[in-house]
Amino acid sequence: MILELLANIGHKLNNPGVLLVKVGAKTMREKSFFLKNTKNLSFLDFCAYLCDPKKEEMANHAATKKDVRQSAKRNERNRYYGKTTRNAIRDLRATTEHKAATDQLPEVSSMIDKLARRGTIHKNKAANLKRKMALKVNALKK
């Protein structure tokens, strides 16, 4: 079905692989596409392919391409460290024993400080998180 749709659209434009896409209220533009494996492609997959913003913007210079790669790596690393720290904070908040919470507090505080140092979170947010955790641990003492 998709192949027939694409063939009809390409035939009408006298250019297979080009599709007219509505941009504004009255404006249309041509969008080219290249699909390798179209055998099991559904219409929704094709629409997702056309609407994917990552395929729209592409770096042209080597330095820009490298920056995109580096920022993707940093983003992945920051997400990992942030999620690990959030899990540690969640575990500390779930602790009901004062001794266990006291043992976990320095490790979690260190993780939060590292996030702030890397710039993943703001230093004031780090201070607020550490303060709330210290209050929680001290409240367990009673």
Domains along the sequence of the chain with CATH? 2-56 (no CATH), 66-140 (1.20.58.110)
Structure tokens at 51: 């609407």
Q: pTM for the whole thing?
A: 0.58
Do 132 and 90 contact (CB within 8 A), yes or no?
no
- pLDDT for the residue 58: 74
Give residue-wise pLDDT tens across range 22-42: 556 666 665 555 555 555 666
What is the per-residue pLDDT across 53-97, written as a single tens digit (0 to 9) for each?
Answer: 554 457 889 999 999 999 999 999 999 999 999 999 999 999 999
Q: How many helices (H) and strands (E) does the chain have?
A: 6, 2
What was the pLDDT predicted at 56?
A: 44
Amino acid 142: pLDDT: 76
pLDDT digits (tens, 9 = 90+) for 115-132: 999 999 999 999 999 999
Say what the pLDDT of residue 11 is.
46
For the chain, what is the mean pLDDT? Answer: 79
Q: What is the mean pLDDT of residues 1-20?
A: 51
